[in-house]
Amino acid sequence: MILGAVLAGGQSSRFGSDKALAEFRGHTLLAHAVDTLSGWCEHVIVVGRETAPAPTLPDWPRAGMGPLGGIAAALHHARDEGYEFLLTCGVDSLDLPENLLELLTPAPAFVAAQPIIGLWPSTIVGTVEDILHAEGSHSLKRLTAAIGARAVTGVADPANINTQADLAALERRLSD
């Protein structure tokens, strides 16, 4: 059983407005991300915001810890609800490869170019808690090193929409 989680907190400072709510082909980026994960996961949640087209959770232990705080919250939920794995992506993960799940199996594994896209066993929740409780960096890099996660390379890099121009470029690329 795989739980899907869209990481949807953060500041969107480079985008200039809440990028989760930016429109792409008639739907918000957030709705696209939920829909994409639904293709692989029994259930999908959204972490780090209160309103979404799926059940939501706040970051753990609080907001402001970066994507790892979202992964921690989702892992708690996965463990408590009996999911073996958690599949994560961001709101800007619009063009994930169809074989993503195969690429990320066996877990733990993540897309090298964008480590927020990853397949995580729910048993790593304690390691994530330890990193979030420790002084210093709460980076995903620290997590992937601690659990020996596999970096998946050699796949077309999914879009990384940081700015309005990135979104326009993706629109052009997908229209070609």
Residue ranges binding ligand GTP (CB under 6 A): 7-15, 47-48, 59, 65-67, 69-70, 90-92, 116, 162
Identity of the residue, 56 or 127, whose beta carbon is nearer to ligand GTP in the bound complex? 56
DSSP code for 77: H
- Which one, of 147, 100, 145, 98, lies nearest residue 120 by Cα? 147
Identity of the residue, 48 or 158, whose beta carbon is nearer to ligand GTP in the bound complex? 48
**What is the closest distance, in whole angstroms, from the C-beta atom of residue 77 to ligand GTP in the complex?**
13
Identity of the residue, 96 or 176, whose beta carbon is nearer to ligand GTP in the bound complex? 96
**What is the closest distance, in whole angstroms, from the C-beta atom of residue 48 to ligand GTP in the complex?**
3
Query: Are 118 and 146 a contacting pair, CB within 8 Å?
Result: no
Provide the token pair at 173: 């690329």
CA distance linking residue 115 with residue 66, whole number of Å: 13
CA distance linking residue 108 with residue 165, whole number of Å: 32
Half-sphere exposure of 69 (CA within 13 A, CB side): 17
- Which one, of 143, 147, 174, 144, lies nearest residue 158 by Cα? 174
**What is the closest distance, in whole angstroms, from the C-beta atom of residue 96 to ligand GTP in the complex?**
13
**What is the closest distance, in whole angstroms, from the C-beta atom of residue 141 to ligand GTP in the complex?**
13
CA distance linking residue 28 with residue 91, whole number of Å: 9
CA distance linking residue 99 with residue 24, whole number of Å: 23
**What is the closest distance, in whole angstroms, from the C-beta atom of residue 90 to ligand GTP in the complex?**
3
Identity of the residue, 102 or 133, whose beta carbon is nearer to ligand GTP in the bound complex? 133
Identity of the residue, 2 or 8, whose beta carbon is nearer to ligand GTP in the bound complex? 8
